[in-house]
Each structure stands twice: as structure tokens, then as C-alpha cells.
Amino acid sequence: MNRPFTTHVRINDRLWLWGHPAGSHNCLFSPPAASRITPVEAACYLGLDNLLFITYPDNPAVEAFSQHAISFRPLEQVIWSITGADGVSDEGAVARVVDLAKRFPNLSGVVMDDFFRGPLTGVPEAVFSTDQLRVIQSQLVLPDRKLDLWVALYLHQLYEEHREPISLCDVLTFWTWKASDLVNMEATFSRAELLAPCSRKVLGCYMYDYGTGQPMPTELMQHQYETGLHWLHEGRIEGMIFLASCICDLDLEAVEWTRRWIAELGKHH
């Protein structure tokens, strides 16, 4: 059940940045230039207090996890990936992040990125089985709190076969890979709600059209933000995520529009 947005809650408590190590997309998705910005710098630039940190294979190295977590201390909440980009994980991923959470109180959950792996057509396979997910949930119970288990689901992954694994997750983040599909947000999100009636939901918002490797059209981005804000007030979602940190210093109009939108939102909520 989503937690309704009320006047007693700051809007910034419901807004998140999707973060990657600096430069993660420089050789992917045809960005207009190389990025140098870190997740914390990007959060500061956009005026956001909450971060999802998604690793790439060996980036950062496991030995550098603590140093990254230290840099995240000024943030209100951090969610750390246990499956990183491309669904990459390993046997010790959960234990490493749980250990971090014991030392860093603002680490409030873990996220499984690209959890359903496979082609854009056909039913992709889950990284973990349902039995493994139950074990992971038990590992997320700490002496002082329970860490949330987040999962990423894309529009093209709305299959009945995914109902059970999603039901074992606390928070579902829903993503529309191709910007052109944003015109059908109401219909596609309704399908996600039917598939995951009990999971809390957060809307994933791209600031770049990764599906085509092109800048995000401003009118479509505005449509997804305004729709998301409407759903937030209705209680259909409990937050919005802006992706990604590693394009925030490329002077993209979509990023600048987002920065202005967040600032204006903060004046009234």
C-alpha cells in the first residue's frame, strides 16, 4: 500500500535520484559529451535529498564501497543495489550492503536493477528465485530496522509470470524505456498496478531517451512529471525517481527543465 502524500510531508521526501558512479554512461547510449559528475554532486545540483545508488560490474570496486557510503552521509536516504546494471550480482552482494547499512543509518533499503533479464520480447528470467528472495528478505531485518527491498520493472516486462517475485518485494519502481510510450502512461501503469497490487510503487522518470539514445523530448518529460505528481497526490505512487546522475553535467535541456521543475515544486509543497 502506498503511503499517501499529505501536506505534513515534504515533497522532497518523495523525490529520488537514480545514481551511478561518475562517467558510467560515457560509452553507452550516445550521450552528447563525457560526464564527470558524482552522485552526490548531481543530487545537490537537482536539489534532491534521496539517492538510489546502482553499481556497474567492478564500478565501484567492493573495496571502495565504504568511501562512497561516506560521501552519501549528507543525504536523507540511500538505497544501494544488490543487483547492479545488467542484473549483475554475486553471492556476497546482500551481505556487503547489509554490513554497510549497519554502519550508515541513512541506508534504508536495497534495490535490484535489471532484475528481469532477457530480450525486449518474450518473458525474461528473474535474477533470483522466489526462495532466494525470501532468504534475502530475512537478511534485511536488522536489530534496529528493516531494510526495504526495491525492484525495477519495465513496461516491456509486464508478464503474469513476474507476479510472484514482485509480490516478495516492498517497493516496485516502474519504468518506460522508450519515450514514445509515455503517451500511454495511464494504461501501462494500470497494468503494473494489477500485477503488483500490494507493493508500494515509485515512478521512474528518465531525463534522457535511453531507448533511442536521443535527448528526451521536453513535452513528453513534462507529461510524465505532471502525471506522476498527480498520481502522488492520489496515493497511487509514493515517489518519483529521476534518472540518471551521470548525465546531470551535460547541459541537457531535459535535465535543466527537471532542475527548475523540482525547485518550483519545493516552493509550493
Tens of pLDDT, residue by residue over 79-127, are: 999 999 999 999 999 999 999 999 999 999 999 999 998 777 789 999 9
pLDDT at residue 118, rounded to an integer: 78
- Beta-strand relationship, 214-215 and 208-209: antiparallel
Could you give the angle at the alpha carbon of 40 between the alpha carbons of 35 and 42, nearest 5°?
Answer: 45
pLDDT at residue 5, rounded to an integer: 62
The kind and range of the H/E element at 112 are strand 107-112
pLDDT at residue 103, rounded to an integer: 98
Sign of CA dihedral 134, 61, 24, 260: positive
In a domain, 1, yes or no: no
In a domain, 5, yes or no: no
Q: Range of 214's domain?
A: 11-268
| CATH for 56 | 3.20.20.60
pLDDT at residue 122, rounded to an integer: 81
In a domain, 23, yes or no: yes
Instruction: Say how many domains are in the chain.
Output: 1
Q: What's the pTM?
A: 0.95
End-to-end, the C-alpha distance of the chain in Å comes to 22
In a domain, 261, yes or no: yes
Give the Cα separation of 41 and 158 in Å (integer): 34
Q: Which stretches of the chain drop beneath a pLDDT of 50?
A: none
In a domain, 182, yes or no: yes
Strand partners, 205: 242
Query: By C-alpha distance, which of 231, 242, 225, 177 is closest to 200?
Result: 231
In a domain, 75, yes or no: yes
In a domain, 253, yes or no: yes
Q: By percentage, how much of the chain surpasses pLDDT 70? A: 97
